[in-house]
Every structure is written in C-alpha cells, then in structure tokens.
Amino acid sequence: AATTAPAPQNAEVEVFGHRGASGYRPEHTLASYELAARMGADHIEPDLVPTKDGVLVARHEPEISGTTDVAAHPEFAARKTTKVVDGTEMTGWFTEDFTLAELKTLRAEERIPEIRPHNTVHDGLYEVPTFQEVLDLRARLSEELGRDIGVAPETKHPSYFRKLGLPLEPRLVAALERNDLNDEDAAVAVQSFEVGNLEELDERLQVRLVQLISSSGAPQDFVEAGDPRTYADMVKPEGLAEIATYADVIGPDTKVILPVDEDDHLTEPTTVVADAHAAGLEVVPYTVRAENTFLPADFRSSEDPAQWGDVLGFFDVLYDQGVDGIFSD
C-alpha cells in the first residue's frame, strides 16, 4: 500500500511491538514478542507486574482472567476475589496471589477473541513469561537477527504494588543490572504513567525513560498525593519542561496529538509533538491497531469492528506530525 513520505525527523521512526505482535499472537507471550522482532519491530514491549514471591512477569494488569485460562483451574477457584486497583474495581484472579510456580501452570489466552479470532488458535499453548525470560529471548534474537532488539518494559500500577510490599522499582533495576542493561547505550526504554516511579528510576537507571500520558485523568501517584496536576497540564510547555528533568521521551495516547470529536473523527492536531521536541523530548504515541474498532472514524473501512481499516493512512498522519516512534500491535 502507498505511504506518503515521512517528515524529515521521522526518517527512522522507531517501532515498538506493543505487547509483542499482539495483533497476531496472544499478548505478552514469548511467541508474541518473538514474532514482533522477526516482523522488524525495533523494540518489544512487556508490561510488568509481580507474583506473590516477587518475580516480575509480563501481564498488562494483575488481574489475569482475561488473558489466561485461570478460570478453568479448579485448584485456584477459591482465590477469585474482588480488589480495587488504582480506583478501578476488578473481580478475578491476581498475579500477586500466585507464586511463580503456580502462575506457570496457567496458559495464555487471547484477550479480545471477538476482534482477533485468529489468535485463539494459540490459546493454551504459551506460559506467562517472566521478565527474565523476555530478556533472554531479546538476547537470543538480537544475536540471531544481527541487530539489537530493544526492550521497553512498562511498570504497571507501581503505587498499588508498593502498598502491597511488592515494589516494582528495585526488582526492575536488579533485573536490568543482572543482564548488563543498565547502561545509556543499552536498547532499553522504561515506561510508566506514574511520575514518582520514573523520578525514582531516574536516580537509579542510565536508560531512556518514557513518561506515558493518557488522554484524560491524572497519574495515580498525583491522585493519591492530592497533587492537582492532570495529564492535560503535563503536555503544556511548562509541564513538558518538568518531564524533561527526569525523562527522555513522552508516550502520549494518539488522541493527545490527534484529538477526535464525539463521532471519533479527527479534529485539529495539537502542538504537543512540536512542544515536546522544543523541550528536548522524543514523542512515541500509543497505540496504533489495525482493526476498525481501534481506528479513528476517518480510517475505518466498514462497520465490522474486527475488519482492518486504513491503518497505514493513520500511520501517515502520525508521521506527518513528526512523531519519533509508534507503539503498535
């Protein structure tokens, strides 16, 4: 398919395989990460949460009923519970209630089978990987493919896990140091929505740090501290200058750059990309997905939510904004 020429500063847009190649394999499995690397992604993106015994594993959230077969395990039926995670009530099973050995008896499943039915043929095949296993895969594939496959771990719910006595920061730092990846030349970019988490990591890590920015609301640590700043404040020039004191990159929702109206059609772009560049920050928006249901209305091909729309057209509009990278499934 035709693509327009990218803006000059985006001649080499970095591609982050979001949860691996999650459009093609169940998310956060070694198979998903490996396929992303083989498809040409520059980086693979594991979200990180801890087990009961403190091991970092790759899941998007601690509650695992949507991405594993835990509900089919009678031995774990009594562990089903309801918790509030960052203000959201969740019912199911939580990684922090399972040892790694127990978690390893589960198998991954496709999160959105109604949108990605082709991925369900892989249900039941893959384990929940540890962060170490992701780093081992990264090393093996870098050697085999002859290029340094980047890894972009995201610390999920750091305030929540700190309160449970399972802080993510020391475990992440230890893992990167154990693998000789705490180095400014390492192909590592650590992401978080929480500011305090990144500020702490800035003290201890040499790698790139990514401030994730949602299209609404505020960082959870700000909410809990009564800090009135919102994500909308953070993308104003003063907010971006503040981010540049501890991070290198912003990872905004695409809507922060390309807002949509109530019918999901694109409206006037914001100045966030240019403002971030002026503050010395790179810009890597999340998440471009090909299916109609995830695209702005301008790029949909039909009413069918699972059918692909003009995803290359959406990439082009983002490239024309001058983004430095893209998180994509």
| Interface with Ca ion (CB under 5 A) | 47, 154
Instruction: Kindly state whether residue 154 participates in binding ligand G3P, applying the rule CB under 6 A.
Output: yes
Binding mask 299-328 for ligand G3P (x = CB under 6 A): ----------------------------x-
Residue nearest to ligand G3P (CB): 286
Closest separation in Å from C-beta 47 to ligand G3P = 5
Residue 17 or residue 167: which is nearer to ligand G3P going by CB? Answer: 17
Nearer to Ca ion, 55 or 189 (CB): 189
Element (H, E) at 169: helix 168-178
Query: How many residues in the shown chain lie near ligand G3P by CB under 6 A?
Result: 11
Who's near 258: CB < 8 A, 6+ residues apart?
A: 266, 269, 270, 296, 317, 318, 321
60-79 residues in contact with ligand G3P (CB under 6 A) are: 60
Note whether 47 binds ligand G3P by CB under 6 A. Answer: yes
Spatial distance between the Cα atoms of 300 and 303, rounded to a whole number of angstroms = 8
Q: According to CB under 6 A, which one of 31, 172, 212, 288 is a site residue for ligand G3P?
A: 212
Query: Closest by alpha carbon to 56, among 20, 103, 11, 16?
Result: 103
User: Out of 94, 131, 286, 299, which residue is the one contacting ligand G3P (CB under 6 A)?
Assistant: 286
Q: In what order do the strands lie in the sheet with 150-151?
A: 150-151, 43-45, 14-18, 325-328
Residue type, 231: Y
Q: From the list ligand G3P, Ca ion, none, which binds 212 (C-beta under 5 to 8 Å, kind-based)?
A: ligand G3P
Of 130, 153, 131, 138, which is closest to residue 47 (Cα–Cα)?
153
Half-sphere exposure of 200 toward its Cβ, with a 13 Å CA cutoff? 17
Residue 36 or 102: the one with the smaller Cβ distance to ligand G3P is: 36
Q: Which residue in the set 10, 15, 18, 295 belongs to the binding site for ligand G3P (CB under 6 A)?
A: 18
Cα–Cα distance, 76 to 117 (Å, whole number) = 27
In terms of CB distance, is 102 or 149 closer to ligand G3P? 149
Candidates 249, 211, 250, 213; CA nearest to 230 is 213
We find the least distance from the C-beta atom of residue 152 to Ca ion, in angstroms, to be 8
- Residue 287 within binding range of ligand G3P, rule CB under 6 A: yes
| Cα angle 140, 142, 147; round to 5 | 165
What is the smallest separation between the CB atom of 211 and ligand G3P, expressed in angstroms?
A: 11
Query: Is residue 160 a contact point for ligand G3P (CB under 6 A)?
Result: no
End-to-end C-alpha distance for the chain, whole angstroms: 18
Q: What single letter denotes the amino acid at residue 112?
A: I
Residues in the site for ligand G3P, rule: CB under 6 A? 18, 45, 47, 60, 154, 191, 212, 251, 286-287, 327
